[in-house]
Amino acid sequence: MLIGLIGLGALWGVVRWRVVSSEDATTSDLEQCDLVKLILGILSVTTYGAAITLIGFALSTFLFLLCWFPLGGIRNILTIMVNSALGTCILLYLFLKVAYLPLPRGIGAFDSLTVGFYRILGIY
Amino acid sequence: MDILQNLLVGLSNLFGVIPFFLLLAGIFTGVIAGALPGISFVNAMALALPFTYVMQPINAMIFLSGLYCGGVFGGSISSILINIPGSPGSLPATWDGYPMTRRGESARALGIAITCSAIGGVGSALMMIFVSPPFANFALRFGQPEFFAATILGLVSVVAIAKGNMLTSLISLFVGLTVGAIGLDPLYAIPRLTFGWTVLDNGVSFVVVLIGMFAIGEVLGWISSRKSVSYKPTSATKARLPGIKELLKLKGAIARGTGIGCVIGAIPGTGAIIGAIIAYGVEKHVSPHGDRFGTGVDEGLAAPETAKNATTGTATIPLLTLGIPGSAATAIMLAALMLHGVNPGPMLFITGTDLVYTVFAAYLVANILMIAVGMLVARAFTLLMAIPPAILFGFITILCLVGAFGVRNNIADVYICIGFGILGFLLQKFNVPTAPLILGVILGPLAERYFLTSMIAYDNDFLIFFTRPLSGLIMFLAFAFLIWSFWAPIKTLITRLRIIFSVG
């Protein structure tokens, strides 16, 4: 499979090179992307994924939404804060009370913070 | 008689409070997800998977069936109203549906789409109900060689319909096969492609790959897009169902669409988009108004809409009877069944008759209820489109990562999901189809397992796949598909050779 993959990949590379070299080549879809936003988007999603186990799902989700909404073009601070807070609470209820998913609570102090927050929300 | 009796039992299971509520919830979710551009019903099914973990297997399948049937239709709402297909299968609806909207006939267009989708879906559900049990009976004769041959047919047919995207489809398929090989070897338990990471010893879950490639890939595509599009319907979004006379005028288109959709849906690797496009092409040739297709002709909308939903029931036949999914949507259903410890295949029709016939009943009822749900969602479409994409995609990202985590309660799956999301985004940008990859991830390990057990059972005799009649027939079909898919380049080569030798 690896040999087949390498062979096909090489063939595709040759075909692409011929297309790019020809006069009919058009701008690739990748070149039409906003690379800065793409990198920021990848970084924010990856950081969120990494933060879930470290600081807990609740806090990491709230912070992720706080960063994501401005990246997506929302500028109104009230909208950002309300949607982040409300969205986090709704998702917590959905995942913990409805789907019974054992989401990470974070380590050390973040674990205690998350448990305290769940108690305030009535989840625990 | 058995089938009808079992179907009545399935219907009685379906009309309990919770199952019926879940069916309605599934249809609503599917239609809304399908209607919103950027989120296809497959994404919605992948996102909904974690919520099925706490359900009974029957309820989980009812919910996903409703989501599937509703989702396949839902994309037509945005196709007709704003000329943007909400899901790939709804692309043909833009060709004649949107021109009708521009003429001020959006209510009639929506009504035709809703009704024809429902008729196609019901036809396909009936086909599934009456074909599956005898086919499952027949499949009881399948041994490991036959199952291996069936998976090979599935893999080859994915490539066979690639046509213009042959090379990129093959690359995608091989990447999928390679990903499917990650983990411990099934025979010797030797780690393969794990690079020393013990988290990969159990392999890569295809659910995680699905969620990453379809959903995260879509999110990254949106965030990096330079275009900001405003989606505003240009006219009223109320649907008007066609009367009997109107439906009778469309009977030919509906019948052809149903037939085409049912046949196409049963072929692994195809789906609603192929069925809809073929139905549109056939109708254009057959209809007396074919030369006006593209200007807002009723038959031009009715045929693909019927075919689209007609793929749903028959696409589920290989899943339930052989345990082999033929599309991303049925792959998610396979994931749901396996997560609940239910093994689809011919034995399911003996040990899980309740489940099977409740799923049949769910498909039947979902396609009927879809009429009311479709009309309601069409009315609320303007409201849905007012949701800022940043909010929508933010929550979709969270649902994706939680869904990936929930598969095995392993944080490593979250990172794998993000990785495949980036890969999915890149594949989209380079116009590499992602469906062959997904099917490679699913069918690759299945093919390997059936191959190994066949070799163990038949003393390493490779010829067993060709000497057994059923297996030989399926392998011949796979070979025929392969030749057909490579026929165009082969023909070109033969023509060039003829020219060279005739000139020489």
The tens-digit pLDDT sequence of chain B (504 residues) is 688 888 999 999 999 999 999 999 999 999 998 887 766 788 788 778 877 878 888 999 999 999 999 999 998 998 888 787 777 788 888 889 988 988 888 889 999 999 999 999 999 999 999 988 888 877 777 888 988 888 888 788 777 656 566 788 888 888 999 999 998 888 888 888 888 888 888 888 877 887 788 778 888 888 888 665 544 555 556 778 888 888 899 999 999 999 999 988 887 766 787 788 888 888 888 888 888 888 899 999 999 999 999 999 998 988 888 888 877 788 888 888 888 888 888 888 888 889 999 999 999 999 999 999 999 988 888 777 778 888 888 988 898 888 788 777 888 889 999 999 999 888 888 888 877 888 788 888 888 988 999 999 998 888 999 999 888 988 998 888 778 777 777 788 888 888 887 765
Q: In angstroms, how far is the first alpha carbon of chain A from the final one?
A: 50
> Are the C-beta atoms of residues B136 and B349 closer than 8 Å to each other?
yes
Q: Which residues of B touch A94 (CB under 8 A)?
A: 51
Largest CA distance in chain B: 79
Q: Which residues of B touch A64 (CB under 8 A)?
A: 394, 397-398
C-alpha to C-alpha distance for B319 and B327, rounded to whole angstroms: 9
Residue in B with minimal Cα distance to A73: B390
> Are the C-beta atoms of residues A85 and A75 closer than 8 Å to each other?
no
Whether B185 and chain A come into contact, CB under 8 Å, resolves to: no
- Which of B256, B249, B260 minimizes the C-alpha distance to B298? B249
Whether A14 and chain B come into contact, CB under 8 Å, resolves to: no
C-alpha to C-alpha distance for B483 and B481, rounded to whole angstroms: 6
**Are the Cβ atoms of A99 and B51 closer than 8 angstroms?**
yes
Q: Which of A5, A45, A99 sits opposite B53 (nearest CB)?
A: A99
Whether A54 and chain B come into contact, CB under 8 Å, resolves to: no
**Contacts across the A-B interface (CB distance below 8 Å):** 132
Number of C-beta neighbours around residue B462 at 10 A: 11
Under DSSP, is residue B415 helix (H, G, I), strand (E, B) or coil?
helix
| pTM for this predicted structure | 0.74
Whether B230 and chain A come into contact, CB under 8 Å, resolves to: no
Q: Which residues of A touch B170 (CB under 8 A)?
A: 8
C-alpha to C-alpha distance for A112 and A56, rounded to whole angstroms: 10
DSSP string, B185-217: -TTT--EES-TT-GGGTT---HHHHHIIIIIIH
B94 Cα to chain A: minimum distance (Å): 23
Under DSSP, is residue B238 helix (H, G, I), strand (E, B) or coil?
coil
A74: left (phi over 0), alpha (psi -120 to 50) or beta: beta
> Are the C-beta atoms of residues B48 and B207 closer than 8 Å to each other?
no
**Are the Cβ atoms of B226 and A42 closer than 8 angstroms?**
no
Whether A76 and chain B come into contact, CB under 8 Å, resolves to: no
Q: How many helices (H) and strands (E) does chain B have?
A: 23, 2
- Which of B204, B157, B213 minimizes the C-alpha distance to B183? B204
State ipTM. Answer: 0.85
Per-residue pLDDT tens over the stretch B289-303: 888 888 899 999 999
C-alpha to C-alpha distance for B111 and B240, rounded to whole angstroms: 5
Whether A52 and chain B come into contact, CB under 8 Å, resolves to: yes
Whether B54 and chain A come into contact, CB under 8 Å, resolves to: yes
**Are the Cβ atoms of A101 and B415 closer than 8 angstroms?**
no
Residue in A with minimal Cα distance to B432: A12
Q: Which residues of A touch B225 (CB under 8 A)?
A: 33-34
Domain positions in chain B: 2-141+159-457, 459-504
Per-residue pLDDT tens over the stretch B195-221: 888 888 888 887 788 778 877 888 888
